[in-house]
Amino acid sequence: MNYEQLKEKALVDWRNFSNPDTARILIGTGTCGLAAGAGDLIDIIKDYVRKRHVDAQVCDTGCLGLCYAEPLVELRKPGAPAILFGRLNPENITECLENYFENNKWDDPNALAIMEGDSINSIPYFRDLPMIRGQVRIASRNFGIINPENINHYIARDGYAGLAKSLKLSHEDVITEVKASGLRGRGGAGFPTGIKWEFCRNAPGNKKYMICNGDEGDPGAFMDRSVLESDPHAVIEGMTIAAYAIGADEGYIYVRAEYPLAIKRLEKAIKDALDMNLVGKSILGSKFSFDIHIKKGAGAFVCGEETALIASIEGKRGMPKSRPPFPAQSGLFNKPSNINNVETLANIPFILRNGSSEFAENGTEKSRGTKTFALTGRITRTGLIEVPLGITLREIIFDIGGGIPDGKKFKAVQTGGPSGGCIPCDLLDLPVDYEKLAEAGAIMGSGGMVVMDESTCMVDIARYFISFTQSESCGKCVPCRLGTRQMMLILDSITRGDAKVDDINLLIELGETIRLGSLCGLGQTAPNPVLTTIKYYKDEYEQHIINRICPAGSCSNLLTYEIDKKKCIGCTACAKACPVDAISGKPKEVHAIDQEECTRCGSCFDVCKFEAVKKS
Amino acid sequence: MSRCLEGEKLKQQLKCVFDQYKGVESELIPVLQDVQDACGYVPVDAIAAIARFLKTPASKVYGVVTFYAQFYLKPQGKHKIRVCQGTACHVRGADEIMRVIKRKLGIEEGESTADFEFNLEKVACFGSCALAPVMVVNDKVYGNVTPEQALEILDGLSS
């Protein structure tokens, strides 16, 4: 079957799915949705449909990216607007279904947006939601719209058209198109994708490998998981195009084991693509063949690094190698190999289908296109967004993310995970592109953006990241293995309040040594979170060291717990909870904490029902 | 109480796993993953058998087992409690969740309770950061967890 015939068939399936004359209940069942309780809702919804004889089909979809409002359910029926409901739970779901299907009442308090149909005064259209308005969705265009486990949905929305077109072009023309788009690696380093392909294409050898890096290990990042869970075929298509361009006949997708749902959906997607001859032997009747295998990671952050990932696929400890030789010359099983990140590959079908110039319309001169970000931390609207590069941090955090909740003040945004840095308030108008973020001492990274407010201690954040990198260091380079440990010990002593002022300079010196003396990206960038926090929040370090105060009130060793005499009723709960018997007092009399004995564990604070225990 | 797998029973489990592989070195990690799925951990006796099967030194197998966080050399508890320590979870109070669970179970991270009912682990990131803090119990992900809810979830398991 050729592509046109496949699409014809797929459209029948898709029209049936998107037919406005059929009632339908769509549930977002990505990992986020399930974590928020979508699994429990499915059972209730199915039960409702059966018992009340509602003629509606219940279907899974991917992630719309509005994670703050999960679990999300979209309801459709003939003659009514399709409405998206959010923040549903077992208590309010039935009323919501009754209102929609039985009472024709749309203005449910949980109604978030109109997906399609006539406008209703009280409910905005999906595209007008503040979180959606500023977004341009290319890599995430199918998220929450198609059923990720149905290949026909993907094909009906022009999926695999980019592959069909590529197979009619020469290998060189495909590479030229990708080069012209200006697409750069979305895994963090930002190397131009087309040039990377060209290196591998030009490397001598008959056997080449195409590898997809889905080892998204940065804490605070879930862009790749969302792509794999919500639109796995976009990655498979991108990977197959890449394999054609470089001349590879075998490929691996390396996915971290913490993403079981992504692995399950990928397995199904590969099988379906094989059945339709979109991967495998003689793809779409051409001379090009390409097989894809999935490799599950085994829990090592360093395997996100290219050479370590290759070692892991080969069945070895994931230790990076020095380059050259680059993987393009000698990679997996010593053959020329090309590695691209999941999101990079998800952009490829669009570039081939719509042309490089359409892709390059978005973005800045050196950073073309759009980028997905995982917006998390102390922010009102957490979720997954895709925005044109060059957008400012302020627009992302305040317009799209809705700013900081609970009336607190913005303090910093952490980009790029353990390799990135903390960007302060003064730099909120910084346009987000690869160069500008690097100038600020952070990096674009894979796209995690963790927002912090005044209750976050920057020294603690620096300590958190260094303790992460020191435990994930593979141990090959001494400066990384021992240096990160020394940095962690110094930061520990600062958060305990027993450090010296000069320790700040020692941290800077150690950071510089680790950066220069490490082989791979993990070590070279590990000091970034410490160095940027020292650069922008030095006074907070000094407060800890000189005055033994944690201004954010977060470092437990620098806190004092005291009992408010006016509020204490002498219930004895705190004295019973104290593990070191530091609290004394008779029943019905005011209690007191012995500061010498107190270990600042916070147990008394947790158990007091009268807010009588004060933390300062 | 011994939860260790040895002798004939272990041999049988290993055979089931080996039957699905060709016996080449690059299969080491998937073989270890399957052995762990079958046995609950990687028994020391299995290491030598895997080494023979893949025609590679046992030291290399041991090196890989100890390199990756996912492999265990000791039997694990029945309920696997994992608390996410990602950045977003850290900023939104993951330490507090860990603290109350540790106190309730009386064990540290990486340990099992004496009756092998519970196993406590910290994990770098589950990628459900928008719902931080997150805990995962036997592969079920719980989002926006408060310390009280964490304890309720544990109570639900032991009852």
ipTM value of the model? 0.91
Picking from B26, B64, B87, the nearest residue to A220 by CB comes out as B87
Collect all residues with Cβ–Cβ distance below 8 Å to A588 and sequence separation of at least 6: A569, A570
B26–A333 CB contact, under 8 Å: yes
Distance between CA A298 and CA A360 in Å, rounded? 37
pLDDT, residue A422, reads 93
pLDDT, residue B1, reads 39
CA distance A502 to chain B (A): 28
Distance between CA A490 and CA A615 in Å, rounded? 25
The one-letter amino acid code at A431 reads P
What single DSSP character describes residue A505?
A: H
Distance between CA A603 and CA A590 in Å, rounded? 18
Question: Which chain A residue's Cα is nearest to B92?
Answer: A377
Rounded to a whole number of angstroms, the distance between the first and last alpha carbons of chain B is 21
Rounded to whole angstroms, the maximal C-alpha distance in chain A is 87
Distance between CA A303 and CA A79 in Å, rounded? 52
Mutate to test the interface with B, among A68, A414, A450 (most CBs of B within 10 A): A450
β-strand partners of A295: A254
Q: Would you say residue B131 has pLDDT above 70? A: yes
Whole-angstrom CA distances from B75 to A130, A168, B18, B112 are 50, 55, 21, 9
Three-state DSSP at B88 gives helix
Question: In the Cβ-directed half-sphere of A453, how many Cα atoms lie within 13 Å?
Answer: 15
Q: Which of A30, A67, A375, A79 is nearest to A226 (CA)?
A: A30
Whole-angstrom CA distances from A140 to A308, A367, A370, B62, B124 are 28, 18, 10, 41, 25
pLDDT in tens, A179-197: 999 999 998 889 999 999 9
CA distance A312 to chain B (A): 8
Asked if A35 is an interface residue toward chain B (Cβ–Cβ < 8 A), one would say yes
Q: Would you say residue A72 has pLDDT above 60? A: yes
E-strand stretches of A454-608: 561-563, 583-584, 592-593
Q: Would you say residue A120 has pLDDT above 90? A: no
Residue pair A594/A574 in contact by the 8 Å Cβ criterion: no
β-strand partners of A257: none
Question: Confidence class of residue A18 from pLDDT cuts 50, 70 and 90?
Answer: confident
Q: Print burial letters for B41-77: b (CB count within 10 Å at least 16), e (below 16).
A: bbbeebbebbbebbebeeebbbebbebbbbbbeebbb
Q: For the beta carbon of residue B112, count every other beta carbon within 10 angstroms.
A: 22
CA distance A122 to chain B (A): 27
Written as six digits, the tokens of A429 are 């108008």
Picking from B99, B124, B143, the nearest residue to A219 by CB comes out as B124
Query: Tokens 């600020």, residue?
Result: A440
Distance between CA B96 and CA B101 in Å, rounded? 9
pLDDT, residue B4, reads 67
H helix or E strand, kind and range, residue B81: strand B79-84
Q: Would you say residue A342 has pLDDT above 50? A: yes
Interface of A with B in 386-415 (CB under 8 A): 414
Q: For the beta carbon of residue A532, count every other beta carbon within 10 angstroms.
A: 25
Distance between CA B94 and CA B83 in Å, rounded? 7
Picking from B27, B92, B128, the nearest residue to A315 by CB comes out as B27
Q: Would you say residue B139 has pLDDT above 90? A: no
B88–A295 CB contact, under 8 Å: no
H helix or E strand, kind and range, residue A213: strand A209-214
For range B32-39, the mean pLDDT: 94
CA distance B45 to chain A (A): 20
B68–A318 CB contact, under 8 Å: yes
Distance between CA A222 and CA A372 in Å, rounded? 10
Asked if A108 is an interface residue toward chain B (Cβ–Cβ < 8 A), one would say no
Interface of B with A in 14-73 (CB under 8 A): 25-30, 32-33, 54, 60, 63-64, 67-71
Picking from A32, A39, A456, the nearest residue to B130 by CB comes out as A32
CA distance B54 to chain A (A): 11
For range A78-103, the mean pLDDT: 94
Asked if B145 is an interface residue toward chain A (Cβ–Cβ < 8 A), one would say no
CA distance A260 to chain B (A): 9
Single pTM value for the model: 0.92
For range A32-54, the mean pLDDT: 92
Q: Would you say residue B158 has pLDDT above 80? A: no
pLDDT in tens, A377-411: 999 999 999 999 999 999 999 999 999 999 999 99
Whole-angstrom CA distances from A499 to A65, A492, A502, A542 are 43, 9, 8, 10
Q: Which of B35, B34, B55, B54 is nearest to B45 (CA)?
A: B35
Q: Would you say residue A348 has pLDDT above 70? A: yes
Written as six digits, the tokens of A178 are 């990708």
For range B118-130, the mean pLDDT: 89
For range A276-294, the mean pLDDT: 97
Distance between CA A256 and CA A93 in Å, rounded? 34
Chain center to CA of A482: 30
Query: Tokens 């719309």, residue?
Result: A64
Collect all residues with Cβ–Cβ distance below 8 Å to B122 and sequence separation of at least 6: B82, B83, B84, B85, B98, B109
Three-state DSSP at A501 gives coil
Query: Across the A/B interface, how many CB contacts are shorter than 8 Å?
Result: 146
Question: Confidence class of residue A616 from pLDDT cuts 50, 70 and 90?
Answer: confident
Question: Which chain B residue's Cα is nearest to A473?
Answer: B67
Least confident of A346-350, A423-427, A437-441: A437-441
Distance between CA B65 and CA B50 in Å, rounded? 11
The one-letter amino acid code at A330 reads S
Picking from B91, B99, B124, the nearest residue to A378 by CB comes out as B91
Q: Which of A355, A352, A360 is nearest to A168 (CA)?
A: A352
Interface of A with B in 148-207 (CB under 8 A): none
What single DSSP character describes residue A545?
A: I
Ranked by mean pLDDT, the top range of A33-37, A526-530, A551-555, B5-9 is A526-530
Collect all residues with Cβ–Cβ distance below 8 Å to A450 and sequence separation of at least 6: A220, A376, A377, A413, A414, B87, B88, B91, B129
Q: Print burial letters for A426-435: b (CB count within 10 Å at least 16), e (below 16).
A: ebbebebbbe
E-strand stretches of A468-565: 561-563
Chain center to CA of A544: 32
Asked if A456 is an interface residue toward chain B (Cβ–Cβ < 8 A), one would say yes
Residue pair A384/A378 in contact by the 8 Å Cβ criterion: no
Question: Confidence class of residue B2 from pLDDT cuts 50, 70 and 90?
Answer: very low
Distance between CA A200 and CA A493 in Å, rounded? 48
Asked if B128 is an interface residue toward chain A (Cβ–Cβ < 8 A), one would say yes
Asked if A606 is an interface residue toward chain B (Cβ–Cβ < 8 A), one would say yes
Instruction: Name chain B contacts of A218, Cβ cutoff 8 Å.
Output: 125
Q: Are strands A337-341 and A209-214 parallel, antiparallel or unpaired?
A: parallel
Distance between CA B40 and CA B33 in Å, rounded? 10
CA distance A35 to chain B (A): 5
Whole-angstrom CA distances from A221 to A142, A415, A444, A605 are 20, 10, 12, 32
Asked if A447 is an interface residue toward chain B (Cβ–Cβ < 8 A), one would say no
What mean pLDDT value characterizes chain A? 94
Helix H segments across B19-140?
Answer: 28-39, 44-54, 58-67, 87-91, 94-105
Residue pair A100/A86 in contact by the 8 Å Cβ criterion: no
Instruction: Name chain A contacts of B41, Cβ cutoff 8 Å.
Output: none
pLDDT in tens, A305-338: 999 999 999 999 999 999 999 999 999 999 999 9
pLDDT, residue A214, reads 96
pLDDT, residue B3, reads 61
Query: Tokens 């503040």, residue?
Result: A130
The one-letter amino acid code at A101 reads F
pLDDT, residue A536, reads 96
Residue pair A558/A493 in contact by the 8 Å Cβ criterion: no
